[in-house]
Amino acid sequence: MKNLTRITFDQKVMGGKPCIRGLRVTVGTIVGLVAAGYSTTDILQSYPYLEKEDVMEALAYAAWRSEEIEVPLSEG
Protein backbone atom coordinates (compact mmCIF):
# COMPACT_ATOMS: atom_id res chain seq x y z
CA MET A 1 0.00 0.00 0.00
CA LYS A 2 1.31 3.40 -0.90
CA ASN A 3 2.14 5.82 1.88
CA LEU A 4 -1.11 7.25 3.17
CA THR A 5 -0.45 10.80 4.28
CA ARG A 6 -4.03 11.90 4.95
CA ILE A 7 -5.19 9.05 7.20
CA THR A 8 -4.36 9.60 10.87
CA PHE A 9 -4.81 7.65 14.09
CA ASP A 10 -5.03 9.39 17.44
CA GLN A 11 -6.65 7.94 20.56
CA LYS A 12 -7.80 11.46 21.45
CA VAL A 13 -9.66 11.90 18.16
CA MET A 14 -12.67 9.66 17.56
CA GLY A 15 -11.24 6.98 19.85
CA GLY A 16 -8.33 6.20 17.56
CA LYS A 17 -10.41 5.36 14.50
CA PRO A 18 -8.79 6.19 11.16
CA CYS A 19 -9.58 9.84 10.45
CA ILE A 20 -8.90 12.36 7.75
CA ARG A 21 -5.94 14.62 8.61
CA GLY A 22 -6.65 14.53 12.34
CA LEU A 23 -10.13 15.94 11.81
CA ARG A 24 -13.19 14.42 13.43
CA VAL A 25 -14.22 12.79 10.15
CA THR A 26 -13.59 9.07 10.03
CA VAL A 27 -12.79 6.92 7.04
CA GLY A 28 -15.97 5.02 7.91
CA THR A 29 -18.03 8.18 7.56
CA ILE A 30 -16.65 8.83 4.09
CA VAL A 31 -17.10 5.22 2.96
CA GLY A 32 -20.63 5.18 4.37
CA LEU A 33 -21.55 8.33 2.47
CA VAL A 34 -20.21 6.91 -0.78
CA ALA A 35 -22.09 3.64 -0.16
CA ALA A 36 -25.27 5.67 0.40
CA GLY A 37 -24.87 7.22 -3.04
CA TYR A 38 -23.27 10.54 -2.20
CA SER A 39 -20.80 11.83 -4.78
CA THR A 40 -17.44 13.34 -3.95
CA THR A 41 -18.95 16.73 -4.77
CA ASP A 42 -21.80 16.10 -2.31
CA ILE A 43 -19.35 15.10 0.41
CA LEU A 44 -17.16 18.13 -0.16
CA GLN A 45 -20.19 20.40 0.03
CA SER A 46 -21.24 18.83 3.33
CA TYR A 47 -17.69 18.93 4.72
CA PRO A 48 -16.12 22.04 3.14
CA TYR A 49 -12.87 21.58 5.08
CA LEU A 50 -12.21 18.30 3.25
CA GLU A 51 -10.45 18.03 -0.08
CA LYS A 52 -11.05 15.65 -2.98
CA GLU A 53 -7.78 13.88 -2.15
CA ASP A 54 -9.11 13.18 1.36
CA VAL A 55 -12.09 11.31 -0.06
CA MET A 56 -9.95 9.38 -2.54
CA GLU A 57 -7.45 8.36 0.14
CA ALA A 58 -10.24 7.29 2.51
CA LEU A 59 -11.58 4.98 -0.19
CA ALA A 60 -8.11 3.66 -0.99
CA TYR A 61 -7.48 2.95 2.69
CA ALA A 62 -10.83 1.16 3.05
CA ALA A 63 -10.12 -0.96 -0.03
CA TRP A 64 -6.67 -1.86 1.27
CA ARG A 65 -8.08 -2.83 4.70
CA SER A 66 -10.77 -4.99 3.13
CA GLU A 67 -8.05 -7.07 1.47
CA GLU A 68 -6.14 -7.73 4.70
CA ILE A 69 -6.05 -11.28 5.98
CA GLU A 70 -6.20 -11.92 9.69
CA VAL A 71 -4.19 -14.91 10.79
CA PRO A 72 -5.11 -16.39 14.15
CA LEU A 73 -2.26 -16.82 16.60
CA SER A 74 -1.61 -20.44 17.48
CA GLU A 75 -1.89 -21.31 21.14
CA GLY A 76 0.88 -23.07 22.84
- Distance CA(2)–CA(13), nearest Å, equals 24
Q: What pTM value is reported for the model?
A: 0.83
Which of 53, 60, 57, 55 shows the shortest CA–CA distance to 42? Answer: 55
Type of residue at 65: R
| Strand blocks (E) in the chain | 7-8, 19-20
> Does residue 1 carry a pLDDT above 60?
no
What are the domain boundaries of the chain? Answer: 7-63
Q: Does residue 75 carry a pLDDT above 70?
A: no
Q: What is the pLDDT of residue 76?
A: 56
Using the predicted structure, report yes or no on whether residue 46 has a pLDDT greater than 80.
yes
CATH topology of domain 7-63: Arc Repressor Mutant, subunit A (1.10.10)
For residue 3, what pLDDT is reported?
81
